[in-house]
Amino acid sequence: MFKGSNVALVTPFKNNKLDEETYIKLIHFHIQNGTNGLVPAGTTGESPTLSHIEHEKVIELCVKESKGKLPVFAGTGSNSTEEAISLTKHAEKIGADGALVVTPYYNKPTQEGLYQHYKSINDNCGIPILIYNIPSRSVIDMSVDTMARLNELKNIIGVKDATGDLNRVDLTLEKLGKDFIQLTGNDDNAFEFNQKGGVGAISVTANIVPKLCSDFQKLSKSENESDLKKAEQLNKTLQPVHHAMFIESNPSPVKYAAKLLGLCDDEVRLPLVKVTDSTKEKIEKVLHSAKLI
């Protein structure tokens, strides 16, 4: 159900308010352009600065507008277990297909603390849960052994791996098997990740080039040598775009790129700010080189 190119959806703002009209257009843009799944209210969706009402609204709109055409894995993580349970329950109630739950940031739980956090969410909810392991933002790294323990629970089905460590794919596959979903959170290693046994990505770049990202994902999992060569070529084309999306803190660069493509405004919420002029020039250059503008 959850593989291929899954977009980590941006949340568009207008005058510091949720721009619902543009957000709905973005959802349909992805439905029409081959995106395989929608991930609202994650890091790229600026979840840390969404109010609870906005957070729930973003997920509700995504579920409503996708109308079952694409799976929706809602960002419902928090460093408060109680809050994560509440957000996950809400996502389940409104019909989301699953939840993406980030490892708790700032409070630095132990591996046992991580296990108990996810177990509590699992025990209080009834939808599939993807672990979101991103040490660069959460400070902690969930071990493969902890994931193996969690995989014994009824709702824990996989991981969005943003460690950047490709060896983790092998270790996870060896310990948890191929039924445990492995998605990369790093666009730039998606080809190698899939070759090692991953089944897709939760992508920032897909916000601006959904069809290219979807085509790449499909080709990269093919057993046909010609398709794999095409995937490698697409990967080379996309690499500069991937890197440009992280010149400054995500999602400021991808929102500027989206603005250039007429998809949404580049407004972000403090403490994030719009990208600098020098970064704008770099993004424009990359998009021109990739013949996107």
Looking at residue 153, the DSSP 8-state letter turns out to be: S
Which two three-digit tokens encode residue 151?
């995989």
Could you count the other beta carbons within 10 Å of the beta carbon of residue 232?
A: 14
Q: Is there a contact between 43 and 162 (Cβ–Cβ < 8 Å)?
A: no
Measure Cα distances from 132 to 12, 26, 97, 182 in Å.
Answer: 23, 23, 16, 10
Rounded distance, CA 140 to CA 233, Å?
A: 35
Number of DSSP helices (H) and strands (E) in the chain, helices first: 12, 10
- Known active-site residue 132: yes
Q: Which of 57, 160, 280, 282 is catalytic?
A: 160
Q: Which of 132, 256, 259, 280 is catalytic?
A: 132
Could you count the other beta carbons within 10 Å of the beta carbon of residue 52?
A: 11
Q: Which of 151, 240, 160 has its CA nearest to residue 200? A: 160
Q: Please, what's the b/e burial string for 256-272 (b: 16 or more CB within 10 A of its CB; e: otherwise)?
A: bbbbbeebbbbbbeeeb
- Annotated active-site positions, please? 132, 160
